[in-house]
């Protein structure tokens, strides 16, 4: 249930509503808009309704949120879009985030070189995995803590905020020391204890859609993070599994306008893992920007043919300037500006 407070409702009135909501075992999430304050009462709807909050001082009206996800729903923000600030780079609204970097942190040289090139060519943030979810347990699993140190160095050299994946709750402290945005990978989208933990960690989260998850399941996963009081969640479409085998995954670009209708959260597209081939990454990136995505997360490598992981889909550093320039042009047509500082 959404409790919309009157314009000018006092702190005292807001506090009193929160107390009553919590008093019936529900949680209250306050969303402070420019003019209005909205309190999201999450829990048993009948109990909130039984409070008879209509007519309570400061309360304007109540709106039931019909979707199973509440805090993630566009209703919760009354159509206002969430804008996430990552060290001055904005994601959402009129801002477009270009997140670029290697699939995997492989070495110090590779990480610093890719970071330098993307930073000199308009990237908003640096991506790179130190902990890698691999289909085969025999494949390279990432450099772990050492990889995090290389990312830290890349951040110090370029100033770019770092987006890196967290796979295991046991690594949360190490990862959040370096990460500016915590990536939850497609395979962990429904790891609910991990989602709650990153919710509590308080850093912005980039949440990837599961390989065969519906948009509703993705939004329910986001709800786990939001419910912990962490409002900064980016939803990421990265391709889903369909009957089509001609490419790695089917990039579901309709997810962009659909998610933007269902939710106030920014929507990022990962064209790399769907395409699986670098020559398809550019057209799908442009298509995503044209569809209204709030950003792109793309894999870039200085020596793609030598890459340990996902080389065929990596944009070579040599081509990144042109890639970024075209993407910026399409983002502008869609009414957005790539956010850098
Ligand atoms: C990645 O970003 O490198 C990755 C493993 O992505 P996903 O979880 O979408 O497969
Ligand atoms: Mn990858």
The dihedral sign for the CA sequence 222, 224, 227, 232: negative
Specify the pLDDT at position 199.
96
Going by C-alpha positions, the residue among 174, 312, 293, 156 that lies closest to residue 234 is: 293
**Torsion angle, alpha carbons of 49, 54, 57, 61, to 10:** 110
Pocket lining for ligand 1, CB < 6 angstroms = 103, 129, 133, 185-187, 208, 238, 270, 273
Query: Which protein residue has the closest C-alpha to ligand 1 atom 9?
Result: 186
Q: What region does 79 belong to: left with phi over 0, alpha with psi -120 to 50, or beta?
A: left
Q: Which atom of ligand 1 is nearest to the CA of 209?
A: 9
pLDDT tens for 219-239 read 999 999 999 989 999 999 999
Burial 167-185 (b: 16+ CB within 10 A, else e): beeebbebbbebbbbbbbb
130, 205, 211, 238, best to mutate for ligand 1 pocket (most atoms within 8 Å of CB): 238
Partners of residue 234 on adjacent β-strands? 206
The answer to whether 185 and 209 are in contact (CB under 8 A) is no
Specify the pLDDT at position 33.
74
Task: Output the CA 22–ligand 1 centroid distance in Å.
Answer: 38
Q: Which atom of ligand 1 is nearest to the CA of 310?
A: 3
Residues within 5 A (CB) of ion ligand 2:
103, 310
Going through the chain in order, the beta strands assigned E by DSSP cover: 2-5, 27-32, 37-42, 59-63, 84-86, 89-91, 95-101, 125-127, 162-165, 181-184, 205-208, 233-237, 267-269, 295-301, 315-316, 337-338
Cα atoms in the 13 Å half-sphere on the side-chain side of 309: 24
Indicate whether 34 pLDDT > 80.
no
Task: Output the CA 300–ligand 1 centroid distance in Å.
Answer: 13
pLDDT range class, residue 159, cuts 50, 70, 90: very high
Q: Which atom of ligand 1 is nearest to the CA of 129?
A: 3
The dihedral sign for the CA sequence 239, 240, 241, 244: negative
Specify the pLDDT at position 66.
86
Phi, psi of 59 (to 5 degrees): -90, 130
Specify the pLDDT at position 233.
98
Query: Which protein residue has the closest C-alpha to ligand 1 atom 10?
Result: 186
Residue found under tokens 């060290």:
87
126, 133, 212, 250, best to mutate for ligand 1 pocket (most atoms within 8 Å of CB): 133
Out of 25-29, 35-39, 311-315, the most confident range is 311-315
pLDDT range class, residue 77, cuts 50, 70, 90: confident
- Nearest-5° Cα angle at 75, 70 to 76: 55
Task: Output the CA 302–ligand 1 centroid distance in Å.
Answer: 19
Phi, psi of 232 (to 5 degrees): -100, 80
Record the pTM. 0.93
* Nearest ligand atom owner, CA of 281: 2
């Amino acid at each position: 249930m959404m409790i919309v407070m009157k314009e000018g409702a006092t702190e005292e009135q807001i506090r009193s509503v929160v107390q009553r909501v919590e008093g019936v075992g529900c949680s209250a999430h306050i969303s402070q808009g420019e003019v209005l304050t909205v309190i999201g009462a999450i829990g048993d709807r009948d109990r909130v309704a039984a409070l008879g909050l209509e007519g309570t001082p400061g309360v304007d009206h109540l709106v039931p949120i019909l979707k199973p996800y509440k805090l993630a729903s566009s209703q919760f923000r009354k159509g206002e879009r969430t804008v996430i600030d990552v060290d001055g780079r904005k994601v959402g609204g009129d801002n477009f985030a270009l997140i670029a970097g290697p699939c995997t942190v492989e070495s110090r040289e590779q990480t610093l070189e890719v970071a330098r090139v993307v930073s000199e060519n308009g990237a908003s943030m640096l991506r790179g995995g130190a902990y890698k979810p691999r289909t085969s347990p025999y494949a390279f699993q990432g450099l772990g803590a050492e990889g995090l140190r290389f990312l830290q160095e890349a951040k110090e050299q370029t100033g770019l905020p770092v987006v890196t994946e967290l796979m295991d709750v046991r690594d949360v402290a190490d990862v959040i020391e370096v990460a500016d945005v915590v990536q939850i990978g497609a395979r962990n989208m429904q790891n609910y204890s991990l989602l709650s933990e990153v919710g509590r960690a308080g850093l912005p989260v980039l949440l990837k859609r599961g390989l065969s998850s519906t948009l509703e399941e993705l939004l329910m996963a986001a709800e786990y993070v939001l419910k912990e009081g962490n409002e900064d969640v980016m939803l990421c479409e990265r391709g889903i599994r369909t009957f089509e085998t001609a490419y790695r995954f089917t990039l579901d670009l309709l997810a962009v306008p659909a998610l933007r209708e269902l939710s106030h959260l920014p929507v990022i597209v990962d064209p790399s893992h769907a395409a699986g081939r670098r020559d398809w990454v550019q057209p799908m990136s442009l298509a995503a920007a044209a569809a209204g995505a709030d950003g792109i997360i793309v894999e870039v490598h200085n020596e793609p043919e030598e890459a340990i992981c996902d080389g065929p889909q990596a944009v070579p550093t040599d081509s990144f300037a042109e890639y970024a320039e075209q993407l910026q042009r399409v983002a502008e047509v869609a009414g957005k500006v790539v956010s850098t500082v």
